[in-house]
């Protein structure tokens, strides 16, 4: 009754194009932003959430969820919006992480935020390179091509000592970097500052993504996805559409990879970018909803938090952590299949259905 547009009275293009036509949605976004800031306050005051101590909640749940949301957003642009399935996400994140590490080694005085985005550009370039085959092939064949990227880059990260500054352990160890005088990387960094940095970048990049998708580029991606030959016939250039999708997607993945290592992990080896992670990101996209920004948030949060919750439940029943890990793998597999059968558009679609119902409520029609 309350949640709806008041009739369809749009008098200008501007109002027709607005992102949130319903006032409650606008309010909802603000509420989410407020919640996000309150979470920061919780951590700042060291108040625990639901019995967990706040450092754990931040480090193990909230920050990784935000980072993976960014990754999922990137992969969703490629797979969900442009229809090019990729199993190389982990490697593209790795490119971002190693690029950021090299850049901050050479330019220690440059603001780290700028370097995050610069490393995204490096990742975008690599993404375009490995996206080139997509011009001739698609579907399963492209999966093979992206797997090629995954394995080749993984190998490169392990073998090319220059990438990790000839560090004998073969790992990236993140140096201390500050933003406005506050340490945001390294062991002594403030969790709240880290949280705010990741959150800020995520919000900024979500905003960019949603506008890209609403605009000309995004529409050409979706046309390619829905039927590439038809799209070509009505004037979409597949070269531009596909490569720009690869570039933007890899840019997002690169930035999230840099954030993952610099803000969340603090140190990283090749294993952080391996094929299993690439699968995980694909699951986040599928569960959340192919071709949905809200879905990217839901999918990342779900896939990341679900095993942790399951492990905690197992702990309270005295079941070992490995057993619960296997059960969560099993459960995720089952859920993938169920979601594909029942609702191929994922959690986001369920959310949309709920909203649609709410629009009509309390009347049945």
Partner 1 sequence: MDFLYDVLIKPFVEMGGDPAFFFQVLWEGFVAGILYALIALGFVLIFKASGIFNFAQGIMVVFAALGLVGFYEVLGSAGIESGTVKAVISLVLTLTMMYALAFGVERLVLRPLVGQEDIILFMSTIGITFMLIGGGQWIFGGEPKSMITEDLGLPTGDTVVDAFGGIIIFQHLDVAATIIAGLLIAGLALFFSKTKTGRALRAVADDHQAAVSVGIGLNQIWVVVWFAAGIVALVTGVMWGAKSDVSFALQIVALKALPVLVLGGFTSIPGAIVGGLIIGIGEKVFELYWGGLMGGGVESWFAFIIALIFLLFRPQGIFGDKIIERV
CB–CB of 205/73 below 8 Å? Answer: yes
Residue placing its CB nearer to partner 1 in the complex, 108 or 344? 344
Compute the least distance from the CB of residue 329 to partner 1, in Å.
3
Nearer to partner 1, 147 or 179 (CB): 147
- Among the candidate windows 21-29, 39-47, 214-222, 320-328, which touches partner 1 by CB under 8 A? 320-328
218's CB contacts (< 8 A; 6+ apart) are 81, 212
Q: Using the minimum distance from each CB to partner 1, give the nearer residue, 247 or 270.
A: 270
Q: Considering beta carbons, is residue 169 or 276 the nearer one to partner 1? A: 276
Which 340-359 positions form the footprint of partner 1 (CB under 8 A)? 340-341, 344
Closest Cα to residue 36, out of 197, 190, 266, 178?
Answer: 197
Which of 204, 243, 249, 348 lies closest to 290, judged by CA?
A: 348
Does 144 bind partner 1 (CB under 8 A)? Our answer is yes
Q: Which distant-in-sequence residues (6+ apart) come within 8 Å of 167 by Cβ?
A: 161, 173
Residues binding partner 1: what is the number (CB under 8 A)? 47
Phi, psi of 52 (to 5 degrees): -90, 150
Query: Of 79 and 185, which CB lies nearer to partner 1 in the complex structure?
Result: 79
Q: How far is the CB of 311 from partner 1 (least distance, A)?
A: 14
Task: Pick between residue 23 and residue 159 the one whose CB is nearest to partner 1.
Answer: 159
The rounded distance, in Å, linking the Cα atoms of 126 and 122 is: 6
Helix and strand element counts for the chain (H, E): 15, 4
Helix, strand, coil % over all residues of the chain, rounded to 5: 75, 5, 25
Window 323-342: residues binding partner 1 (CB under 8 A): 323, 326-337, 340-341
Calculate ∠ Cα 320-326-327, nearest 5°: 85
Name beta bridge partners: 268. 172
Q: Does 322 bind partner 1 (CB under 8 A)?
A: yes
- Which one of residues 68, 71, 82, 154 is an interface residue with partner 1 (CB under 8 A)? 154
Q: Are 254 and 261 in contact (CB under 8 A)?
A: no
Residue 113 CB, shortest distance to partner 1, in Å, is: 33
Among 261, 286, 301, 303, binds partner 1 (CB under 8 A): 286
Query: Shortest distance, CB of residue 92 to partner 1, whole angstroms?
Result: 15
Rounded CA-CA distance 122/108 in Å is 18
Q: Does 282 bind partner 1 (CB under 8 A)?
A: yes
* 3-class DSSP assignment, residue 191: helix
The interface with partner 1 within residues 14-73 (CB under 8 A) comprises none
Picking from 219, 305, 210, the residue whose alpha carbon sits closest to that of residue 252 is 210
Cβ distance to partner 1 smaller for residue 186 or 238: 238
Q: Please choose, from the candidates 20, 44, 73, the residue with its C-alpha nearest in 3D space to the C-alpha of residue 298.
A: 73
Q: Which of 148, 186, 238, 266 binds partner 1 (CB under 8 A)?
A: 148
Give the footprint of partner 1 on residues 84-113 (CB under 8 A): 85
User: Which residues are near partner 1 by CB under 8 A?
Assistant: 83, 85, 132-133, 136-137, 139-141, 143-145, 147-148, 151-152, 154-155, 158-160, 227, 229-230, 233, 275, 279, 282-283, 286, 322-323, 326-337, 340-341, 344
């Amino acid at each position: 009754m309350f949640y709806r547009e008041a009739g369809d009275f749009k008098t200008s293009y501007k109002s027709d194009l607005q992102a949130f036509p319903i006032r409650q949605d606008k309010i909802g976004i603000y509420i989410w932003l407020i919640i996000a800031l309150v979470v920061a306050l919780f951590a700042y005051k060291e108040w625990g959430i639901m019995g967990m101590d706040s450092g754990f909640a931040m480090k193990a749940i909230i920050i990784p969820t935000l980072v993976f949301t960014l990754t999922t957003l990137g992969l969703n642009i490629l797979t969900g919006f442009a229809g090019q399935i990729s199993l190389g996400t982990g490697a593209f994140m790795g490119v971002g992480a190693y690029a950021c590490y090299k850049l901050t080694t050479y330019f220690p005085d440059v603001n780290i935020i700028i370097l995050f985005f610069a490393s995204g550009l490096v990742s975008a370039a690599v993404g375009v390179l490995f996206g080139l085959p997509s011009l001739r092939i698609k579907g399963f064949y492209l999966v093979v091509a992206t797997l090629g990227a995954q394995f080749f880059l993984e190998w490169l990260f392990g073998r090319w000592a220059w990438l990790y500054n000839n560090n004998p352990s073969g790992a990236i160890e993140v140096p201390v970097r500050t933003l406005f005088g506050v340490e945001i990387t390294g062991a002594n960094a403030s969790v709240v500052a880290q949280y705010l940095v990741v959150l800020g970048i995520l919000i900024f990049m979500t905003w960019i993504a949603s506008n890209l998708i609403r605009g000309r580029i995004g529409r050409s991606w979706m046309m390619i996805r829905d039927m590439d030959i038809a799209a070509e016939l009505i004037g979409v250039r597949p070269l531009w559409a596909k490569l720009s999708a690869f570039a933007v997607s890899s840019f997002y993945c690169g930035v999230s990879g840099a954030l993952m290592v610099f803000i969340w992990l603090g140190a990283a080896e090749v294993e952080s970018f391996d094929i299993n992670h690439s699968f995980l990101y694909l699951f986040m996209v599928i569960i959340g909803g192919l071709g949905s920004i809200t879905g990217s948030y839901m999918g990342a949060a779900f896939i990341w938090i679900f095993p942790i919750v399951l492990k905690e439940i197992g702990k309270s029943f005295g079941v070992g952590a490995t057993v619960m890990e296997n059960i969560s793998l099993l459960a995720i597999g089952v859920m993938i299949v169920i979601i594909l059968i029942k609702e191929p558009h994922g959690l986001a679609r369920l959310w949309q259905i709920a909203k649609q119902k709410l629009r009509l409520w309390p009347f049945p029609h």
